[in-house]
Every structure is written in C-alpha cells, then in structure tokens.
Amino acid sequence: MQIHRVRVHRSDEALPPGEQLAGRIAAVAADPVEVDAEVTEMIVNRIIDNAAVATASLTRAPVVAARAQALAHGPSTAGAEIGRAS
C-alpha cells in the first residue's frame, strides 16, 4: 500500500495537479488493478448509499435553498470546466 502524505498548501504555491489530493485520488481510482467480487459488491452498495443520501437530502431546507440559488443564477463562463484543458 502506498502512503500519500497530505498537507495544506498556500494558494500562491504552484502545486502540480498530480500532487494535489484530487489528482492523487484520481490516479488511484484510474489504476487498472484486479477487483475482487467482494470489492465490486462494496462499491455498488456505496453508490446506492450515496444516491439514497443525496435523494433524501433534496427535501432539506439548506439543499432546497442552495438549489434554488443555483438555478436562479445561470451558468458562468468565468471558472474552469472539469475535464477541459485551459
């Protein structure tokens, strides 16, 4: 098992994407390793649990308010898009 040391970086530090936590998680997720049947079952159950929690949260006041605010403000072209080169 590989240990990834993580620390907080200042925003003005130039940290390559591969060294960022999200980049490291993506590298682990994309690693083409053999997955046991038990692991596959656990992954499926986790996806089901996450979907259930997300669905249940849709009626909570903070989520409803955040969704209403997001829908009231159209998409912006100011930010970076996920998966798109700058």
User: Domain coordinates of the chain in residue numbers?
Assistant: 34-74
Q: Is the pLDDT of residue 79 over 70?
A: no
Cβ partners under 8 Å of residue 57, min gap 6: 63
How many other C-beta atoms can be found within 10 angstroms of the C-beta atom of residue 20? Answer: 13
Within the chain, residue ranges assigned H as helices are 21-30, 37-57, 61-72
Q: Is the pLDDT of residue 28 over 70?
A: yes
Q: Is the pLDDT of residue 17 over 90?
A: no
- What are the structure tokens assigned to 41, written together? 């079952």
Q: For residue range 33-72, list pLDDT tens digits in order.
A: 898 999 999 999 999 999 999 998 888 899 889 889 989 9
